[in-house]
Each structure stands twice: as structure tokens, then as C-alpha cells.
Amino acid sequence: MPPTKRTNKAAEVLAENVQRLTNSDDFKAALKFRKSFMTDYTFRNIWLIWCQCPEATVVAGYKKWLEVGRQVRKGEKGLRITAPLIRKNNDSETEVFGFRGASVFDISQTDGESLPSLPAPQILTAQAANIRPITDALMSVAKARGIAVEFKQIKDAQGYFSPMSNKIVLKADQPALQNLKTLVHELAHAAQAAEVTLIDASVTGCQHRANKVELSLDSNAVLAATVVIAADGRQSVLRRDAGIPVNEWQYDQTALALSFSHTSAHHGMSVEYHKTSGP
């Protein structure tokens, strides 16, 4: 079979598996339900919901649950979020002029009709003679871009891309078609990350100009941008130079600093929880 036909055949195998999933009745019912039922919550509300009910999965207001045939159980406590107050201005355009408190409930707080759910992802196992040549070609693309590709035993994912190490990790012992699909997916992430430049330097000062912000680095370089997003910790130089005040409290606590090895990849991310009693 000519190379072009082999390539087309592999593409057909990939498309067929995706099409089989997306054309299923369960998948269509689940998407229709999500579109009409789920609300696009802000990050603040997602955080509020998580703080009150970390196990929450599907959340909605009391009336919305009634519309889909479910009833909030008597005695259940609502999850408090903020909802916008909207009005029309002088130009007859809607605008937000404040926020109010509102209550929502997780599906675990309700009883009633079952909700459609997305089918579980399936490992791609179809066979095609040209899967390996296409995989090798994509491996060459990764190598040309300086991206290392490794196979490891990982949990909870078929693979991931690490921007910090510019590396793609694929789950070992998977069918060839599944590895090909995952490699394509992670190469797309790598292509997006390629637009980000990592500068190994610390900010020592910040100057606000008329239409830009200048950052002084400890390497003596100066960076200029119209927008700067700061996430440089509690001793933030950018917060200090922007004149944003901070309140401090002294907690009578003892901290333990530990180093852990992880069986699951966390992709260079960590989460810290802050409570009223202290971090």
C-alpha cells in the first residue's frame, strides 16, 4: 500500500473511533443536558462551591433541579455563591451593578430522575499497518522541536506534557493507536506552550509608565508589557510597588517542611488552602 494511502487509512481509524463515541445517543444526551442545565460559574463561585462541598459534581439552583425532575431533600443546606445584579443602563444595554448571595445544591443533595452521563473513555485498540510509521514521523517532529518523549507507568492519565522540562510522557504498555492519539494530543499542548518564553530571573522592581509597566530583573534586563499578572508570593515585589496593602496576622503555629515522592504526576503544580484559623 502506498504511503499516502496508509496515512489516510490510519486517519480513518482515528476518525472512526472518535466518531463512534461522539455519535452515541448517550454522548448526545449528555451534551444536550450540559448545554441547557449547567451554568458557567466564575472562578470565585467554583472556589466557593469547592470550599463548602469538595465532592460536588453537578450543581444548580432549587428551581433548576425541579425542572429536570429532581427534588432537593428537606433539611439540605444550600451552597452559598454570588450572583450578579443586572440592570439596563441609559443606552438600554445590560450591566452588572453589584452582587447578591444565592444558594445552589449539588446533585448529592437531591433525589429524583437519573441524569444522562458521558460514556467512560475507551482505550483505542484498532489495528492498522501504518500506525507505527505515523507515530515515528510524529516522534521526529517532537525531536526537531527539542521535545523529549518518554514512556512511563503513570496513573489517571494516558499522558501529559511538562512545559518546565519540555517533555511528553506517554503511558507505557498501551496499544499503538492509543499512544498515537495521545501523542497528537500532547504535541498540540506543546505547540501552545511554545508561545510562552520562560525567563530564569527574579523581579527586583516595577515602574508604572503612561501606557506600560517596566519590570527590572536581577539579571539587569528590563521587560515592558501593557499588562502584568503577579503571582510572586507573600513578599510580592509587584504588589508592594503597586501600592496594594496587605494585612498580616501572627499565628501561634508550628510548621513542618516535608518532601514527598508522588506516584501520580502533578505536572509541576501545587495547591495551598487558607482557612480563617490559618494556612
User: What confidence tens digit (pLDDT) does each residue in 114-133 have?
Assistant: 887 766 677 887 776 778 88
Cβ partners under 8 Å of residue 259, min gap 6: none
Lowest mean pLDDT among 61-65, 175-179, 236-240, 253-257: 253-257
Query: What's the mean pLDDT when you consider all of the chain?
Result: 80
Higher per-residue pLDDT: 112 or 279: 112
* pLDDT higher than threshold 70 for residue 232: yes
Output 228-237 pairs: Cβ under 8 A, ≥24 positions apart. 232/203, 237/203, 237/204, 237/205, 237/206
Cβ partners under 8 Å of residue 154, min gap 6: 160, 169, 171, 264, 265
Alpha helices in the chain (DSSP H): 3-22, 25-37, 43-52, 62-67, 131-144, 176-193, 237-241
Q: Give the pLDDT score at 3.
A: 45
Q: Give the pLDDT score at 202.
A: 86
pTM assigned to the model:
0.42
d(CA 142, CA 39): 38
- At residue 226 the predicted structure's pLDDT band, cuts being 50, 70 and 90, is confident
Amino acid identity, residue 249? Answer: W
